Amino acid sequence: MELVILGGEMEGTRFLLKGPTLTLGRRSDNDICLPLDPRISRSHARLTQQSEDVWLLEDLGSVNGTFVGQRRINTPAVLRPNDRFRMGRTWMTLEIKQEDTAGTEALQSVRLDDTGDKPFHADSVVYSVAAGGDADAQREMSAPLRYLQVYQRVGQALGSTLDVVELGNTIMDAVMDSLPAERAFLLLLDPGSGDLAPRVARWRPDIEIDATQVAISRHMVNKAMQERLTIMTTDAMSDERFQGLASVHDLRIRSAVCAPLVHKNDVLGVIYLDSTSATHVFGEGDADLLASVATQASVAIVNAQLFTDLRNAYEDLQSAQEQLLRSQTLSTIGALAATVAHDMINIVTPLQPLIDLMLADTDVDSESEEVVRRQTKRLAALAERLMSFSHVEKMRLKPANINTVATSTLSLLNTEFNHRRVRVCQHLEEGLPEVMVDETQMDRVFLNLCLNAVEALQGTKNPELTIRTYQDQDEVVISFTDNGPGIPADTKQDIFDPFYSTKKTGTGLGLFSCQRIVQDDHGGVIEFESQPGINTTFTVRLPVMTIAAPSEQAISV
């Protein structure tokens, strides 16, 4: 099974799912590192395998949430092949890997075999080269050209990528093309556990790979790492000193060479090659070549790891700075909003009855009267919205029917709809289950979405707003669709950000507040889909109330 990135800067990237439990996030110590999306948390989610084709996806308290389809998950959700899910702005899916099945199984089943009583004796080493040491210059005439070709390929890899796996693939391809190996493995030490983990596996096309037989001699690997030597053995099968090493005897290894990856005083891992054929036997020149390649590879791997760590640190700092700036801005605007809202309420509260008296004693046409009343109500609503943004409120969640809430909101806007000549179509499904909502807050969400739609419909021929409600599995859904000009593609990713607005007089707080109320306070999802020149749909998804709830539940937000 593979995790496939469907969009963004990492689009097309594939991760092989190699364990019963895998973590996902921006930090490099995650099993699946996704560093290029700043909206993904450092430790964002966890995948746990339930069966061959079933995984559980769990959010780890991320800031921006984890979504399966369009639903934000609050408990572990089941994933199957081709299910789409999102972290931050990155969509991904699970796919069954069809190609190279044998290679995948072989890589996953590589193990260090330490069965047998006898250690790897020094007498078993036919030839050795110190890590970083000079190779013997006296080789056959064809060796310099062969070495040069390998060095060129490895050098090109070092200059073209900072991805460890991509580096490993290129290096191992060059090694396999130049040395008489039947199998080749790149193993790197895990910085957390200290265990060797296979990163790249290669073998000759004519070699059949049995996933249960991909074993490497632990004794030989340990000796290479401990003594920092590239070691080579020949005719291991006929040497009585190898009779106790099952990984050599069972696999009928005739010749093997193992080069440590050493940078300064740190051992990073090994490159291991072996052969079972009498016609594919390693020579001293092969050990020299592999030692030189290992030296180059070590520097490249360290550089790649440092680059990844630096990039993660930079993105963490950038995210922290953005969050700090956002918090400071919100705090400042909140204080300002509280002052403005307080003054506005003091003005509007006595103004309303005075307007009623004036209209009763004055001969005013009905249209003008309606305009005055409508604008006064809008001023009061604006003051209320500013006040709700500026201070902490008590959410009062109660069982409610979403159709009742929606109908109540629409009744307040009938005058606005008629004034703007907007045709309203309601398709409210009957018998919907109840949801836990604060009706006042949800009314604000619906009011904001409707007013946004009405404003977007200005200048549209035959303006129309369609409201639908329906049940989608364990969610109740309400959507608002207008046939306006749509949302420009270059603004879609920003419309929920605070203080972002495309309106000349907009505050940029409407959709931000809607998202906060729906997702943070109600555990739901608010999303949108827009087709330029055709329509825009905002959708609110709320979880169905599945258990008997008390008549009223107070939540501090």
Which distant-in-sequence residues (6+ apart) come within 8 Å of 5 by Cβ? 11, 12, 13, 14, 34, 90, 91, 92
Residues 297 and 197 in one domain: yes
Residue scoring higher pLDDT (368 or 141): 368
Q: What percent of the chain has pLDDT over 70?
A: 67
For the cut 60, the answer to whether the pLDDT of residue 549 exceeds it is no
Domain end, chosen from 274, 293, 309, is at 309
Residues 291 and 192 in one domain: yes
Residues 355 and 455 in one domain: no
pLDDT tens for each residue of 354-365: 677 777 767 767
pLDDT tens for each residue of 67-104: 887 677 888 888 988 888 988 878 899 988 654 444 55
Beta strands in 124-182 (DSSP E): 127-130
Range(s) of the domain holding residue 8: 2-95
pLDDT tens for each residue of 428-449: 999 999 999 988 889 889 988 9
Q: What's the half-sphere exposure (Cβ side, CA atoms, 13 Å) at 526?
A: 22
Residue scoring higher pLDDT (20 or 349): 20
Q: What percent of the chain has pLDDT over 90?
A: 14
Q: Is residue 317 packed enough to be buried (19+ CB in 10 Å), middle (13-18) or exposed (0-12)?
A: exposed
Residues 283 and 299 in one domain: yes
Domain end, chosen from 338, 358, 390, is at 390
For the cut 60, the answer to whether the pLDDT of residue 54 exceeds it is yes
Residues 153 and 298 in one domain: yes
Residue scoring higher pLDDT (307 or 126): 307
DSSP string, 418-445: HHHT-EEEEEE-TTPPPEEE-HHHHHHH
For the cut 60, the answer to whether the pLDDT of residue 188 exceeds it is yes
Paired tokens of 330: 């919100």
From CA 272, how far away is CA 262, in angstroms rounded?
14
- pLDDT average, residue stretch 540-545: 88
The pLDDT confidence band at residue 556, using thresholds 50, 70 and 90, is very low
Q: What is the CATH number of the domain that holds 233?
A: 3.30.450.40
Residues 265 and 153 in one domain: yes
Which pTM was predicted? Answer: 0.44
| 549 inside domain | no
From CA 107, how far away is CA 198, in angstroms rounded?
6
How many domains does the chain fold into?
A: 4
